[in-house]
């Protein structure tokens, strides 16, 4: 992200190919331009995390309503895969992504799938920025299991509570990463 910001601001040049690399384009570093670019990136990340809350909640509710037994089997398979790979970050991240894709597919709606692809692209760099660890993997596993149970039981209030916990996991890490508290970034906004 830092290199992309520097390139966007014209401070470095990225050349592809055999003789490619990253080259300094200028020695003049306008700090205000870098600050502005970083602030825009931060706001974009906050926007995508807020959009996730709205859209993924609606996806889970729709999936709860229309998912078939085969859809639930597929979701369970991804949760089992996550459990088998606790502590192996790349495998856990793949299993987590598989869970979310299976959830979206279970809605059987192309428009919903397209919207969630956009959210997924926006979330990827945010998710990749955090290291996880076995305890975080176990928390993810627990949340996915409880989400699946709430959906199977058609328990809307439990699903809403689990989703809130799930969303807060990444939101809290993000807020901490930018030196702020969750409530400052994602809490109720003043009118």
What is d(CA 171, CA 186) in angstroms, rounded to the nearest whole number? 8
Residue-wise pLDDT tens digits, 64-117: 999 999 999 999 999 999 999 999 988 998 999 999 999 999 999 999 999 999
Which pLDDT value is given to residue 191? 47
Which residue bears the tokens 């979310």? 100
Q: What are phi and psi of 146, to 5 degrees?
A: -70, -35
Residue-wise pLDDT tens digits, 36-79: 544 557 888 889 999 999 999 999 999 999 999 999 999 999 99
32: number of Cβ within 10 Å: 7
pLDDT band at residue 29 using 50, 70 and 90 as cut-offs: low
For residues 164-191, give the mean pLDDT: 85
Residue-wise pLDDT tens digits, 126-163: 887 776 788 989 999 999 999 999 999 999 999 999 99
pLDDT band at residue 31 using 50, 70 and 90 as cut-offs: low
Instruction: Report residue 10 as tokens.
Output: 């014209």
Q: What are phi and psi of 21, to 5 degrees?
A: 155, -165
Q: Which of 131-135, 142-146, 170-174, 182-186 has the lowest mean pLDDT?
A: 131-135
**pTM for the full model?**
0.75
């Amino acid at each position: 992200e830092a290199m992309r910001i520097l390139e966007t601001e014209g401070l470095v040049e990225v050349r592809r190919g055999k003789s490619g690399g990253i080259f300094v384009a200028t020695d003049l570093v306008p700090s205000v331009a870098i600050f502005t670019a970083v602030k825009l990136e931060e706001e974009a990340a906050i926007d995508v995390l807020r959009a996730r809350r709205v859209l993924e909640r609606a996806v889970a509710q729709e999936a709860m309503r229309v998912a078939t037994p085969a859809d639930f089997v597929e979701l369970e398979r991804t949760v089992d895969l996550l459990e088998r790979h606790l502590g192996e970050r790349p495998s856990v991240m793949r299993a987590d992504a598989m869970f979310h894709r299976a959830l979206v597919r279970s809605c059987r709606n192309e428009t919903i799938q397209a919207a969630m692809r956009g959210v997924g692209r926006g979330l990827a760099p945010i998710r990749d920025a955090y290291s996880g660890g076995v305890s975080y993997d176990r928390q993810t596993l627990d949340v996915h299991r409880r989400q699946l149970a709430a959906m199977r039981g058609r328990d809307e209030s439990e699903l809403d509570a689990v989703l809130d916990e799930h969303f807060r996991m990444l939101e809290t890490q993000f807020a901490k990463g930018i030196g702020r508290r969750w409530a400052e970034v994602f809490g109720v906004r003043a009118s």
